Chains A and B, each alone.
Chain A
Amino acid sequence: DTEVTQTPKHLVMGMTNKKSLKCEQHMGHRAMYWYKQKAKKPPELMFVYSYEKLSINESVPSRFSPECPNSSLLNLHLHALQPEDSALYLCASSVAGVRFTEQFFGPGTRLTVL
């Protein structure tokens, strides 16, 4: 199974809502990533988890809160978002602790903030 699944596929939320994005993989990968992709732009790294610990935070605003409850799951909790946060949110996973490793991406969650 080389699949990364993301739910929901689409999400519409208001600026005062709290919602969560979920990502799951069963490849035994111990590194997981969140990327943000605006329309017609390349993906931008947000967070990296390595062995369930946050290892990289690319200066992401605190209204985005990642969580890695176990080695298969990665969540992104959203609160008080702005309309400019509307984007495709991509999750990826890879083997951890090695210099080269292919990242496997999910299909993304398309988020619209009203």
Chain B
Amino acid sequence: DAKTTQPNSMESNEEEPVHLPCNHSTISGTDYIHWYRQLPSQGPEYVIHGLTSNVNNRMASLAIAEDRKSSTLILHRATLRDAAVYYCILRVYNNAGNMLTFGGGTRLMVKP
């Protein structure tokens, strides 16, 4: 299975943009790139996903490299509430169901 590599931790100042990188050099042509985050004492929550093109939603933007071997999650203005572990996941789907294989994740700390 294709794997993802993320920095263990990153730090940001409040109200500044944050760029969270993810490497996935063994990605296959049909793998979607997903991001989930896990706030303290909560279950993970969906952030964004993409296949080839850059994507935007109300929470974040996802920039995908042209060769798809890396991607970057962009939080445009970090808030204290964005402090969480961010997981970059390559989604595997087969007839049995959807499987999320979480990598190590990046712990984002936001300073006031």
Contact = CB atoms under 8 A, between A and B. Distances in A.
Contacts of B93: 99-100
Contacts of A102: 46
A56 B96 CA distance: 6
A45 B101 contact: yes
Contacts of A67: none
A88 to B, nearest CB: 9
Given A42-B87, A42-B104, A100-B49, A105 B96 contact: no
Given A107-B41, A108-B43, A101 B98 contact: yes
Interface string B19-40: 0000000000000100010000
A45 B102 CA distance: 9
Nearest to B44: A105
Interface string B76-110: 00000000010100010100111111111100000
Contacts of A55: 96-97
Q: How large is the interface on A (under 10, 10 to 19, 20 to 34, 35 or more residues)?
A: 20 to 34
A81 interface: no
Contacts of A99: 32, 93
Interface of B: 32, 36, 41-46, 49, 85, 87, 91, 93, 96-105
Interface of A: 4, 31, 33, 42-45, 48, 50, 55-56, 90, 92, 94, 96, 99-108
Task: Kindly list the 6 A-B residue pairs having the minimum CB-CB distance in the complex, ordered from nearest.
Answer: A105-B43, A42-B102, A55-B96, A48-B97, A102-B46, A50-B97
